[in-house]
Amino acid sequence: MENYENLAKQQRAFFLTGQTKPIDFRINSLNTLQNAINKHEKEILAALRKDLNKSEVEGYATEIKIVLEEIKFSLENLKGWMQPKKVDTPSFLTGASSVIYPEPYGVALIIAPWNYPFQLAIAPLIGAMAAGNCAVLKPSEFTPSTSKVLATLVRENFPDDYIAVVEGEVETSTALLKEQFDYIFFTGSTPVGKVVMEAAAKHLTPVTLELGGKSPCIVHSDAQITTAAKRIARGKFLNAGQTCVAPDYILVQRQVKEQFLDELKDAIQDLYGEDISRNPDFPKVVNEKQFKRLSTFLKDGTLYFGGRTDSSRNFIEPTVLDQIAWTDPVMKDEIFGPILPVIVYDELSEIIEEITKRPKPLALYIFSESEAVQDQILSSVSFGGGCINETLAHLTSPYLPFGGVGESGMGSYHGQVSFDTFSHRKSVLKRKAE
Ligand code: NAD
Question: pLDDT tens across 19-69, in order?
Answer: 999 999 999 999 999 999 999 999 999 999 999 999 999 999 999 999 999
Residues 240 and 175 in one domain: no
CATH number of residue 247's parent domain: 3.40.309.10
The count of structural domains within the chain is: 2
Question: Is 401 a pocket residue for ligand 1 (Cβ < 6 Å)?
Answer: no
pLDDT of residue 390: 98
- For residue 96, report the distance from its CA to the centre of ligand 1, in Å: 47
As a residue count, the chain comes to: 434
- Asked if residue 203 belongs to a domain, the reply is yes
Atom of ligand 1 nearest to the CA of 384: 41
Question: Is 170 a pocket residue for ligand 1 (Cβ < 6 Å)?
Answer: yes
Residues 192 and 273 in one domain: no
Work out the angle between the directed axes of helices 23-39 and 144-157 (0-180°, nearest 10): 130
Residues 182 and 259 in one domain: no
Please list, in sequence order, all residues whose beta carbon lies within 8 angstroms of the beta carbon of residue 414, skipping any fewer than 6 positions away: 70, 123, 395, 397, 398, 400, 401, 402
pLDDT of residue 288: 97
Sign of the C-alpha dihedral, residues 275, 276, 277, 278?
A: positive
**Contact yes or no for 243/220 (Cβ under 8 A):** no
Q: Which contiguous run of DSSP H or E holds residue 69?
A: helix 66-82
* Exposed / middle / buried, residue 35 (Cβ in 10 Å: 0-12, 13-18, 19+): exposed
**Torsion angle (degrees, nearest 10) of CA 377, 380, 382, 386:** 10
Please list, in sequence order, all residues whose beta carbon lies within 8 angstroms of the beta carbon of residue 315, skipping any fewer than 6 positions away: 277, 282, 284, 285, 309
Question: pLDDT tens across 345-382, in order?
Answer: 999 999 999 999 999 999 999 999 999 999 999 999 99
Residues 276 and 141 in one domain: no
- For residue 263, report the distance from its CA to the centre of ligand 1, in Å: 34
- For residue 8, report the distance from its CA to the centre of ligand 1, in Å: 22
Question: Is 147 a pocket residue for ligand 1 (Cβ < 6 Å)?
Answer: no
Residues 386 and 298 in one domain: yes
- Asked if residue 191 belongs to a domain, the reply is yes
Identify the DSSP state of 359: P
- Ligand 1, residues 173, 190, 236, 333: which to mutate, most atoms within 8 A of Cβ? 173
pLDDT of residue 433: 85
Compute the C-alpha angle 363/368/369, nearest 5°: 135
- For residue 298, report the distance from its CA to the centre of ligand 1, in Å: 24
Residues 123 and 163 in one domain: yes
pLDDT of residue 434: 74
Residues 305 and 330 in one domain: yes
- Ligand 1, residues 184, 192, 244, 336: which to mutate, most atoms within 8 A of Cβ? 192
- Ligand 1, residues 189, 293, 294: which to mutate, most atoms within 8 A of Cβ? 189
CATH number of residue 206's parent domain: 3.40.605.10
- For residue 300, report the distance from its CA to the centre of ligand 1, in Å: 26
- Asked if residue 415 belongs to a domain, the reply is yes
Protein residue whose Cα sits closest to atom 31 of ligand 1? 189
> Which residues participate in catalysis according to the annotation?
210, 244
Atom of ligand 1 nearest to the CA of 334: 32
- For residue 189, report the distance from its CA to the centre of ligand 1, in Å: 4
Atom of ligand 1 nearest to the CA of 193: 2
Residues 261 and 186 in one domain: no
Provide the residue range defining the domain that includes 318: 216-396
- Asked if residue 336 belongs to a domain, the reply is yes
Buried b (16+ CB within 10 A) or exposed e, 121-134: bbbbbbbbbbbbbb
- Asked if residue 403 belongs to a domain, the reply is no
- Asked if residue 404 belongs to a domain, the reply is no
Residues 19 and 150 in one domain: yes
Instruction: For the chain, give the mean pLDDT.
Output: 97
Residues 28 and 173 in one domain: yes
Q: Which of 344, 274, 348 is nearest to 306 (CA)?
A: 274
Question: Is 246 a pocket residue for ligand 1 (Cβ < 6 Å)?
Answer: no
Residues 121 and 270 in one domain: no
Parts of the chain with a pLDDT under 50: none
pLDDT of residue 3: 83
- Asked if residue 366 belongs to a domain, the reply is yes
Residues forming beta bridges with residue 253, ordered by sequence position: 345
**Contact yes or no for 184/206 (Cβ under 8 A):** yes
Residues 229 and 157 in one domain: no
Alpha helices in 142-286 (DSSP H): 144-157, 170-178, 190-202, 225-237, 257-272
- Asked if residue 260 belongs to a domain, the reply is yes
Atom of ligand 1 nearest to the CA of 192: 2
Protein residue whose Cα sits closest to atom 32 of ligand 1? 189
Q: Which contiguous run of DSSP H or E holds residue 385?
A: strand 385-388
